[in-house]
Amino acid sequence: MPEQKRFLVTGRNGQLGHECGLIAPQGYDLVRVGREEMDLSDHAQIAKVIREVQPSFILHGAAWTAVDLAEEKEQEAFAINATAAEVMASCAAEIDARLAFVSTDYVFSGEGDAPWREDDPVAPLNAYGRSKLAGEQAVLGILGERGHVVRTSWVYGRRGNNFVRTMLRFMEQGRALKVVDDQLGSPTWAGGLAVALIALGLGENAPSILHYTDGGIISWCDFAQEIRACGIRNGLALEESSVNPCPSTEYPTPAARPSWSPMHFSSAWEGLGITQSTWQDALQLALPLLLRENDKVT
Protein backbone atom coordinates (compact mmCIF):
# COMPACT_ATOMS: atom_id res chain seq x y z
CA MET A 1 0.00 0.00 0.00
CA PRO A 2 1.54 3.37 -0.99
CA GLU A 3 2.46 5.79 1.78
CA GLN A 4 -0.18 8.45 2.38
CA LYS A 5 0.74 11.86 0.96
CA ARG A 6 1.15 14.73 3.39
CA PHE A 7 0.51 18.44 3.51
CA LEU A 8 2.62 20.45 5.96
CA VAL A 9 1.00 23.65 7.28
CA THR A 10 3.03 26.20 9.26
CA GLY A 11 1.43 28.60 11.73
CA ARG A 12 -0.81 26.04 13.43
CA ASN A 13 -1.97 28.52 16.08
CA GLY A 14 -2.57 31.40 13.68
CA GLN A 15 -5.91 32.28 12.16
CA LEU A 16 -5.13 30.65 8.80
CA GLY A 17 -3.42 27.59 10.29
CA HIS A 18 -6.41 27.02 12.57
CA GLU A 19 -8.82 27.08 9.63
CA CYS A 20 -6.65 24.64 7.67
CA GLY A 21 -6.85 22.25 10.61
CA LEU A 22 -10.62 22.01 10.06
CA ILE A 23 -10.13 20.75 6.50
CA ALA A 24 -9.21 17.16 5.75
CA PRO A 25 -8.14 16.73 2.10
CA GLN A 26 -9.19 13.26 1.01
CA GLY A 27 -6.27 10.89 0.70
CA TYR A 28 -3.84 13.27 2.39
CA ASP A 29 -2.44 13.54 5.90
CA LEU A 30 -2.53 17.16 7.11
CA VAL A 31 0.34 17.97 9.48
CA ARG A 32 0.24 21.36 11.18
CA VAL A 33 3.17 22.80 13.13
CA GLY A 34 3.48 25.82 15.37
CA ARG A 35 6.43 27.62 16.90
CA GLU A 36 6.92 24.81 19.40
CA GLU A 37 7.68 22.30 16.63
CA MET A 38 9.18 24.67 14.05
CA ASP A 39 10.80 27.88 15.25
CA LEU A 40 11.28 29.94 12.08
CA SER A 41 14.46 31.46 13.51
CA ASP A 42 16.00 27.96 13.81
CA HIS A 43 17.08 26.84 10.35
CA ALA A 44 18.15 23.39 11.50
CA GLN A 45 14.73 22.82 13.05
CA ILE A 46 12.98 23.87 9.83
CA ALA A 47 15.03 21.36 7.86
CA LYS A 48 14.53 18.61 10.45
CA VAL A 49 10.73 18.94 10.41
CA ILE A 50 10.48 18.98 6.62
CA ARG A 51 12.76 15.98 6.23
CA GLU A 52 10.84 14.02 8.86
CA VAL A 53 7.36 14.87 7.57
CA GLN A 54 8.29 14.45 3.89
CA PRO A 55 5.35 16.54 2.62
CA SER A 56 4.33 16.71 -1.00
CA PHE A 57 3.00 20.25 -0.40
CA ILE A 58 3.98 22.89 2.15
CA LEU A 59 1.55 25.67 3.00
CA HIS A 60 3.67 28.34 4.65
CA GLY A 61 1.27 30.62 6.49
CA ALA A 62 3.38 31.45 9.54
CA ALA A 63 4.86 34.94 9.47
CA TRP A 64 5.98 38.03 11.32
CA THR A 65 2.77 40.08 11.16
CA ALA A 66 3.53 42.93 13.60
CA VAL A 67 3.54 45.63 10.94
CA ASP A 68 4.49 48.57 13.17
CA LEU A 69 7.11 46.66 15.17
CA ALA A 70 8.80 45.67 11.90
CA GLU A 71 9.81 49.34 11.44
CA GLU A 72 11.87 49.08 14.61
CA LYS A 73 12.98 45.46 14.15
CA GLU A 74 13.33 45.12 10.39
CA GLN A 75 16.19 42.64 10.66
CA GLU A 76 14.08 40.33 12.81
CA ALA A 77 11.09 40.65 10.45
CA PHE A 78 13.32 39.72 7.50
CA ALA A 79 14.68 36.72 9.40
CA ILE A 80 11.17 35.33 9.82
CA ASN A 81 9.46 36.44 6.60
CA ALA A 82 12.34 36.12 4.14
CA THR A 83 15.25 34.03 5.44
CA ALA A 84 13.04 31.30 6.91
CA ALA A 85 11.08 31.14 3.65
CA GLU A 86 14.35 30.74 1.75
CA VAL A 87 15.42 27.87 4.01
CA MET A 88 12.01 26.24 3.67
CA ALA A 89 12.09 26.53 -0.10
CA SER A 90 15.55 24.96 -0.23
CA CYS A 91 14.35 22.06 1.90
CA ALA A 92 11.25 21.68 -0.32
CA ALA A 93 13.51 21.52 -3.38
CA GLU A 94 15.52 18.70 -1.78
CA ILE A 95 12.45 16.48 -1.47
CA ASP A 96 10.70 17.70 -4.65
CA ALA A 97 7.81 19.25 -2.70
CA ARG A 98 5.67 22.19 -3.79
CA LEU A 99 5.40 25.21 -1.52
CA ALA A 100 2.81 28.00 -1.24
CA PHE A 101 3.97 31.20 0.47
CA VAL A 102 1.16 33.36 1.83
CA SER A 103 1.93 37.02 1.12
CA THR A 104 0.24 40.39 1.20
CA ASP A 105 -0.96 43.45 -0.70
CA TYR A 106 1.74 45.34 1.23
CA VAL A 107 4.23 44.40 -1.50
CA PHE A 108 2.57 47.09 -3.63
CA SER A 109 2.89 50.87 -3.30
CA GLY A 110 -0.54 51.35 -1.73
CA GLU A 111 -1.49 54.04 -4.26
CA GLY A 112 -3.72 53.12 -7.19
CA ASP A 113 -7.15 53.16 -8.76
CA ALA A 114 -7.54 49.59 -10.09
CA PRO A 115 -7.24 46.26 -8.25
CA TRP A 116 -3.64 45.06 -8.16
CA ARG A 117 -2.87 42.35 -10.69
CA GLU A 118 -0.34 39.57 -10.29
CA ASP A 119 2.18 41.16 -12.67
CA ASP A 120 1.85 44.76 -11.46
CA PRO A 121 5.13 46.39 -10.33
CA VAL A 122 5.92 45.88 -6.65
CA ALA A 123 7.01 48.78 -4.44
CA PRO A 124 6.60 48.06 -0.70
CA LEU A 125 5.92 51.12 1.42
CA ASN A 126 7.12 49.72 4.78
CA ALA A 127 9.49 47.19 6.35
CA TYR A 128 6.85 44.49 6.65
CA GLY A 129 6.08 44.73 2.94
CA ARG A 130 9.78 44.59 2.08
CA SER A 131 10.25 41.46 4.19
CA LYS A 132 7.31 39.68 2.55
CA LEU A 133 8.50 40.62 -0.93
CA ALA A 134 11.92 39.18 -0.13
CA GLY A 135 10.19 35.96 0.97
CA GLU A 136 8.25 35.84 -2.31
CA GLN A 137 11.43 36.28 -4.33
CA ALA A 138 13.26 33.57 -2.39
CA VAL A 139 10.48 31.00 -2.84
CA LEU A 140 10.02 31.61 -6.56
CA GLY A 141 13.73 31.92 -7.21
CA ILE A 142 14.50 28.54 -5.63
CA LEU A 143 11.44 26.50 -6.58
CA GLY A 144 10.39 27.95 -9.91
CA GLU A 145 7.10 26.40 -11.07
CA ARG A 146 6.93 24.30 -7.87
CA GLY A 147 6.66 27.48 -5.82
CA HIS A 148 3.54 29.62 -5.43
CA VAL A 149 2.93 33.03 -3.90
CA VAL A 150 -0.63 33.69 -2.72
CA ARG A 151 -1.22 37.36 -1.92
CA THR A 152 -4.18 38.27 0.24
CA SER A 153 -5.39 41.15 2.41
CA TRP A 154 -7.44 42.14 5.46
CA VAL A 155 -7.63 38.55 6.72
CA TYR A 156 -9.83 37.67 9.69
CA GLY A 157 -10.51 34.31 11.30
CA ARG A 158 -11.81 32.57 14.38
CA ARG A 159 -8.46 32.73 16.16
CA GLY A 160 -5.77 35.33 16.66
CA ASN A 161 -5.86 39.11 16.61
CA ASN A 162 -7.83 40.54 13.73
CA PHE A 163 -10.05 43.49 12.89
CA VAL A 164 -13.38 41.67 13.25
CA ARG A 165 -12.63 40.29 16.71
CA THR A 166 -11.22 43.63 17.87
CA MET A 167 -14.22 45.60 16.62
CA LEU A 168 -16.68 43.21 18.26
CA ARG A 169 -14.84 43.44 21.58
CA PHE A 170 -14.96 47.25 21.53
CA MET A 171 -18.58 47.30 20.35
CA GLU A 172 -19.67 45.00 23.17
CA GLN A 173 -18.23 47.62 25.54
CA GLY A 174 -20.58 50.18 24.01
CA ARG A 175 -17.82 52.34 22.59
CA ALA A 176 -18.20 55.14 20.06
CA LEU A 177 -15.57 54.08 17.55
CA LYS A 178 -13.71 56.21 15.04
CA VAL A 179 -12.50 54.15 12.07
CA VAL A 180 -10.50 55.32 9.08
CA ASP A 181 -12.44 55.77 5.86
CA ASP A 182 -9.59 56.66 3.48
CA GLN A 183 -7.93 53.24 3.29
CA LEU A 184 -9.68 50.96 0.80
CA GLY A 185 -9.38 47.21 0.37
CA SER A 186 -11.12 43.84 0.39
CA PRO A 187 -11.66 41.78 3.55
CA THR A 188 -10.80 38.08 3.42
CA TRP A 189 -12.39 35.33 5.51
CA ALA A 190 -9.62 32.94 6.58
CA GLY A 191 -11.94 29.95 6.21
CA GLY A 192 -12.42 30.60 2.51
CA LEU A 193 -8.73 31.29 2.01
CA ALA A 194 -7.85 27.99 3.72
CA VAL A 195 -10.13 26.07 1.33
CA ALA A 196 -8.48 27.80 -1.63
CA LEU A 197 -4.97 27.01 -0.40
CA ILE A 198 -5.79 23.34 0.12
CA ALA A 199 -7.25 23.26 -3.39
CA LEU A 200 -3.99 24.77 -4.65
CA GLY A 201 -2.10 21.93 -3.01
CA LEU A 202 -4.36 19.33 -4.56
CA GLY A 203 -4.34 20.92 -8.01
CA GLU A 204 -1.81 21.07 -10.80
CA ASN A 205 -0.47 23.65 -13.24
CA ALA A 206 -1.25 26.65 -11.03
CA PRO A 207 0.61 29.89 -11.79
CA SER A 208 3.46 31.17 -9.66
CA ILE A 209 1.54 34.16 -8.28
CA LEU A 210 -2.13 34.20 -7.33
CA HIS A 211 -4.27 36.82 -5.61
CA TYR A 212 -7.12 35.83 -3.30
CA THR A 213 -9.58 38.12 -1.49
CA ASP A 214 -13.30 38.22 -1.01
CA GLY A 215 -15.13 40.39 -3.54
CA GLY A 216 -15.88 44.09 -3.13
CA ILE A 217 -13.96 47.26 -2.33
CA ILE A 218 -14.66 49.07 0.93
CA SER A 219 -13.05 51.20 3.63
CA TRP A 220 -12.19 50.01 7.11
CA CYS A 221 -15.08 52.17 8.33
CA ASP A 222 -17.50 50.45 5.91
CA PHE A 223 -16.29 47.10 7.18
CA ALA A 224 -16.70 48.09 10.83
CA GLN A 225 -20.25 49.32 10.23
CA GLU A 226 -21.22 46.00 8.63
CA ILE A 227 -19.55 44.04 11.44
CA ARG A 228 -21.76 45.92 13.88
CA ALA A 229 -24.91 45.29 11.82
CA CYS A 230 -24.03 41.63 11.35
CA GLY A 231 -23.32 41.25 15.07
CA ILE A 232 -26.73 42.67 15.95
CA ARG A 233 -28.38 40.28 13.46
CA ASN A 234 -26.60 37.47 15.29
CA GLY A 235 -28.00 38.49 18.67
CA LEU A 236 -25.19 40.62 20.08
CA ALA A 237 -26.14 43.67 22.15
CA LEU A 238 -24.18 46.26 20.19
CA GLU A 239 -26.84 48.97 19.92
CA GLU A 240 -25.03 51.32 22.31
CA SER A 241 -21.91 51.29 20.16
CA SER A 242 -21.38 53.45 17.09
CA VAL A 243 -18.96 53.60 14.16
CA ASN A 244 -17.88 56.98 12.87
CA PRO A 245 -15.55 57.80 9.94
CA CYS A 246 -12.25 59.61 10.34
CA PRO A 247 -9.14 60.24 8.22
CA SER A 248 -5.92 58.24 8.66
CA THR A 249 -4.18 61.40 9.84
CA GLU A 250 -6.05 61.06 13.14
CA TYR A 251 -4.30 57.73 13.77
CA PRO A 252 -0.64 58.04 12.71
CA THR A 253 1.31 54.76 12.91
CA PRO A 254 5.04 53.93 12.78
CA ALA A 255 4.52 51.98 9.55
CA ALA A 256 2.86 53.61 6.54
CA ARG A 257 -0.42 51.95 5.62
CA PRO A 258 -1.66 51.53 2.03
CA SER A 259 -4.55 53.73 1.00
CA TRP A 260 -5.33 51.31 -1.86
CA SER A 261 -5.24 47.54 -1.22
CA PRO A 262 -7.79 45.88 -3.57
CA MET A 263 -6.42 42.98 -5.61
CA HIS A 264 -7.66 41.25 -8.73
CA PHE A 265 -9.04 37.78 -7.91
CA SER A 266 -6.88 35.42 -9.97
CA SER A 267 -8.74 33.63 -12.75
CA ALA A 268 -6.67 30.49 -12.04
CA TRP A 269 -8.78 29.79 -8.94
CA GLU A 270 -11.69 28.77 -11.14
CA GLY A 271 -9.61 25.93 -12.56
CA LEU A 272 -9.00 24.77 -8.99
CA GLY A 273 -12.73 24.74 -8.22
CA ILE A 274 -12.69 27.97 -6.20
CA THR A 275 -15.15 30.82 -6.72
CA GLN A 276 -15.09 34.23 -5.10
CA SER A 277 -17.57 35.20 -2.38
CA THR A 278 -18.54 38.78 -1.71
CA TRP A 279 -17.13 40.16 1.50
CA GLN A 280 -20.68 40.58 2.84
CA ASP A 281 -21.59 36.93 2.23
CA ALA A 282 -18.29 35.79 3.71
CA LEU A 283 -18.81 37.85 6.86
CA GLN A 284 -22.38 36.59 7.23
CA LEU A 285 -21.06 33.02 7.06
CA ALA A 286 -18.03 33.62 9.25
CA LEU A 287 -19.43 35.65 12.12
CA PRO A 288 -21.54 32.90 13.78
CA LEU A 289 -18.53 30.57 13.55
CA LEU A 290 -16.30 33.23 15.05
CA LEU A 291 -18.74 33.84 17.90
CA ARG A 292 -18.87 30.14 18.74
CA GLU A 293 -15.08 30.02 18.77
CA ASN A 294 -14.98 33.06 21.07
CA ASP A 295 -17.17 31.18 23.53
CA LYS A 296 -14.52 28.43 23.65
CA VAL A 297 -11.40 30.57 24.01
CA THR A 298 -12.46 33.62 26.03
In whole numbers, what is the pLDDT of the chain averaged over residues?
A: 95
How many whole angstroms from its chain centre is CA 107?
A: 13
% of the chain beyond a pLDDT of 70: 97
- 106, 128, 156, 212: the catalytic one is 128
Give the whole-angstrom CA distance, residue 144 versus residue 152.
Answer: 21
DSSP structural state of residue 250: G
For the question of residue 128 being annotated catalytic, the response is yes
pLDDT at 292: 87
pLDDT at 25: 85
Query: b/e per residue, 87-108, with b = 16+ CB within 10 A?
Result: bbbbbbeeeebbbbbbbbbbbb
Domains along the chain?
Answer: 5-162+186-215+262-277 (3.40.50.720)
pLDDT at 1: 35
Under the banding of pLDDT at 50, 70 and 90, the label for residue 275 is very high
Sign of CA dihedral 148, 153, 158, 162: positive
For 161-181, what is each residue's pLDDT tens digit? Answer: 899 999 999 999 999 999 999
For 126-144, what is each residue's pLDDT tens digit? Answer: 999 999 999 999 999 999 9
pLDDT at 296: 54
pLDDT at 297: 43
**pTM flag (> 0.85):** yes
